[in-house]
Amino acid sequence: MTILPQARAMSRNELKAFRATGLDPVFFDSTGDNQLSFLKLTVLGNDWILDNIYKDHDFDDVPNNQLVELAEKTFRMTYGLEKEVKNS
């Protein structure tokens, strides 16, 4: 069983590198002539986060849903976004 690393925010340099790839969904322009759909951008961005922020970890046998959660948590932490709290 693979133990996932603790999620962490990206450093400023890591975020700049992420943005340089064009995969940061914060800059997605839904009005322009986009070659990438928002969903595809998100998937590619998640892969970039896993490959570059957690490059010392082998995720080959980890279920994808766990990796999506780790990448998205990293993104939210980087931008200071809290996970939505559901009403009980």
How do residues 74-84 score in pLDDT, each as one tens digit?
Answer: 999 999 997 65
Angle of the 38-53 helix axis to the 64-79 helix axis, nearest 10: 90
pLDDT at 5 over 90: yes
Given this model, what pLDDT does residue 28 score? 87
* pTM of the predicted structure, to 2 decimals: 0.84
% pLDDT > 70, the chain: 86
Task: Express each pLDDT in 44-85 by its tens digit.
Answer: 999 999 999 999 999 999 999 999 999 999 999 999 997 655
